[in-house]
Structure 1
Amino acid sequence: MSLLTPPIQPRFADYRRHIDGLVTAAISAADADAAVGRFLARDGRTLLVGPASNPERINLDEGRVYLVAAGKAAVPMARAALRVVGDDLAGGIVITKDVGGDPAAEFAERPITLFAGGHPVPDERGVAGTKAVVEMLAGARREDAVLCLISGGASSLLTQPLLPLADWRKVVGLLLKSGCTINELNAVRRSIDRIKSGGLARAASPATCYGLILSDVIGNPLNVIGSGPTVPEDDLVVGAVQVLGRYDIARQLEREEWGRLALALNQSRYLHKTPRAPVRNFIIGDVRLAATAALVAAIRLGFVGQLLTAHLDGQAREIGRLAAGVARDLPPGHCLIMGGETTVIVRGQGTGGRSQELALAAALGLERQPRAAVLSFGTDGEDGPTPVAGAVITGETARLARSYGLDPVAHLANNDSHTFFARLDELSRGRAEPHLVTTGPTATNVNDLVIILAYDQ
């Protein structure tokens, strides 16, 4: 990292404007519509799928093209694909998170059915949408092609569980509160679901699946993103059992529920031994792309910037303390960016999300450190069950909260970060910059970013 003095000296008084600019740059770089456009094109009657330098070629006169889009970015990804495929689309299913509105309206003139399901805990709407996918693909032929547009949230939205839905919802809910990583959660999901671990490709066989995948998982492991619906795997039961044991899930289930789960795991052993279907997968966007865009934006603002890692993980409050320590040592005029995804062990009764919990822990660690800011936010615009993307704090946040009678330590212990920041913003309105970062749903999802800014004036 260069220690040269930047030509422009960013001012601490402008930190909130800087934060908003970096958030906008990161989310724009993760735009799902544009990501599909970089990997899908056509040349006359030939559909080109993959990187422009070496794409797969599909002759549109030889077979039909189907579309399956699942995840938080399903709508913009499907929109981008439709611009390319046009009237050559034989049929499509889009399954996205229910965020209100009527996203189906834009597909009204197309042979596409849209389902809005539950996330992060699956519901009957996602199951119905997945059933429609399987039915649509039942008649696929060898010469056909299936465009599979996968983004964060597909694990919940594209689901055909081997368990009764009520059981499945309970298991997922318990794991979400346990503090397990997304890799661990998806290890269980993949083992107890017909459509995951290549199940979508099996449903489409003998047609070839082309997976265009917007990654929300650190390191872009294809089998974990969306629980790998186009990524065939061998026996997954051992890994799932290890996760279930690690977080003591059996003790938290009724005996009958655990019995049904064990039966589903046994059934899964045979499901994944079927012949592998033809598939081609491409990563079209990830957190590194978003982090790099934020880094470029920071440099343009006059910061000396560095992308520290795109593999950030760990407990949110521990990473928050780490970010505060880094901020204390960061030279003025510098910016550090980390991308990845943290986890939260829910022991309290409060309301929050991993990004806000990280920011609250950072506020305690950064207390009374002048002219420094730490931002933590999710690129999907949603942090846990709250309507915000995350939060930004400074060395004055904890002191300011106490001046209004808010106890940051108590709120952190109760996993109540959103209540803390919402109340602080309400009490300090007009006297301090807002702490909550609100973008609304962004229709994309490439993990989270933590940004640290240091100022000298």
Structure 2
Amino acid sequence: ATKALLASGANIDEMNCIRKHLSKVKGGGLARIASPARLINLILSDVIGDRIDTIASGITAPDPTTFQDALAIVRKYALEDKLPQAVKDHLVRGAKGNIPETPKADNPVFCNTVNIILGNNTLAVNTARKTAERLGYDARILSTTLVGEASGAGSYFAQLAKAIDPGQSGMAKPAIILAGGETTVTIRGKGKGGRNQEMALAFAVELHRISPGSQNIFFLSAGTDGSDGPTDAAGALVTPALMEQMKTISAKASACLAENDAYHFFEDTGCLFKTGPTYTNVCDIQILAVV
């Protein structure tokens, strides 16, 4: 079910809605199991906006969604023929009231539950900004709630880079733009990659189109957990050396983007960003540098 959801382009809230209604722990289920014991949840947020009901699918928070909502998402993304029959049957039984709903805000199981956020994407991006400033960069934060199609975000960063380079943005070089969030990829091809690699590839393709051979622009998009899609990379890096190569491999880059095959493109060009598991997850981070 998870693979079908990821391939559909459903966002994290929509995926979590379905997950909550397939689990006894998610969607406040852990709080219900632990009740009436006192429960303290120390949280690293991997969710944009830090909504407690969404982080880890809201194991200790009331769930505002319903089985009906989950079925609506299945229909929205035409997943009726892509989900296991057992999953569809479970959601239908729940929508008919034959399976108990997830606990809502007025449920007494939450009276002894405390949720504390220890770290999130905003903290990570702000720390990166302070580090960049100490290194002498004019550093700005674009957003810590970046969402939408990864390829569209990559193209936008390329256009932003071109605006910064000649001084049209009001920023002094060397400049760094930072962002964080979690984009999505609607899979249309049969390639290999992840949202961060796709964003970096779209960045390279667009930057080559509007400013071929750029020699002072760098771009990184990576997952803070060290993982990006079903790959061994955290993301990918676009460098001046790669932009020089784009003069001869731009057609390959565009073909790989159309096929959702960013991994093999960056593997061939030596620009995969590999950290290994970081054992934490506060969404993704993007770093655009114009030097």
Question: Does TM, scored on the shorter chain, surpass 0.5?
Answer: yes
1:390-427, Cα deviation, whole Å (9 max, x unpaired): 111135525515636970000011110011000112xx
What do you get for the CA RMSD once the two structures are aligned? 2.1
Deviations 1:337-359 (A, max 9, x none): 01101101111111101100000
Looking at structure 2, the residues matched to 256 and 292 of structure 1 have their Cα atoms a distance apart, in angstroms, of: 44
The residue aligned with 1:276 is 109
Q: After TM superposition, what 4+ stretches of structure 1 lie above 6 angstroms from structure 2?
A: none
Task: Give 1:308's match in structure 2, choosing from 142, 162, 171.
Answer: 142
Q: Does 1:338 align with 2:179?
A: yes
Q: Does 1:424 align with 2:269?
A: yes
Q: 1:240 aligns with which of 63, 70, 73?
A: 70
1:320 and 2:154 are equivalent in the alignment: yes
Task: State how 1:48-447 maps to structure 2 within 5 Å.
Answer: 171-233=1-63, 236-253=66-83, 258-266=88-96, 267-272=98-103, 275-277=108-110, 278-330=112-164, 331=167, 332-367=173-208, 368=212, 369-394=214-239, 397-401=242-246, 403=248, 407-425=252-270, 435-447=271-283
Q: CA deviation at 1:272?
A: 3.0
Show CA shifts across 1:80-130 (max 9, x none): xxxxxxxxxxxxxxxxxxxxxxxxxxxxxxxxxxxxxxxxxxxxxxxxxxx
For 2:262 and 2:240, the matched residues in 1 are separated by 17
Amino acid at match of 1:249: L
Contact 2:47 2:283 in 1 (8 A): yes
**Structure 2: stretches of 5+ with no match in the other structure:** 168-172
Q: When the two structures are aligned, how many residues end up with a matched partner?
A: 276
Distance 2:126 2:51 in 1: 20
- Greater RCO, CA 8 A, separation 6+: 2
Q: Percent identity?
A: 38
Report Cα offsets for 1:169-193 as digits up to 9, x if no partner.
Answer: xx22111111111111001111222
Alignment CA distance shift 1:404-1:328 (3 Å): closer
- TM-score, with length taken from structure 2: 0.88
CA distance in 1, matches of 2:230, 2:75: 27
SS at match of 1:376: strand
Unaligned runs of 5+ in 1: 1-170, 426-434
- AA matched with 1:324: A
Call closer, same or farther: CA 1:222–1:352 in 2, change over 3 Å: same
Matched residues in 1 for 2:48 and 2:22: separation?
A: 23
Residue 184 of structure 2 aligns to a residue whose secondary structure is coil
CA gap 1:408/1:305 in 2 versus in 1, 3 angstroms: same
Any idea what SS the aligned residue of 1:444 has?
coil
2:71–2:92 Cα contact (<8 Å) kept: no
Report the residue type matching 2:207 in the other structure: L
Shift of 1:239: 2.4
Structure number with bigger Rg: 1
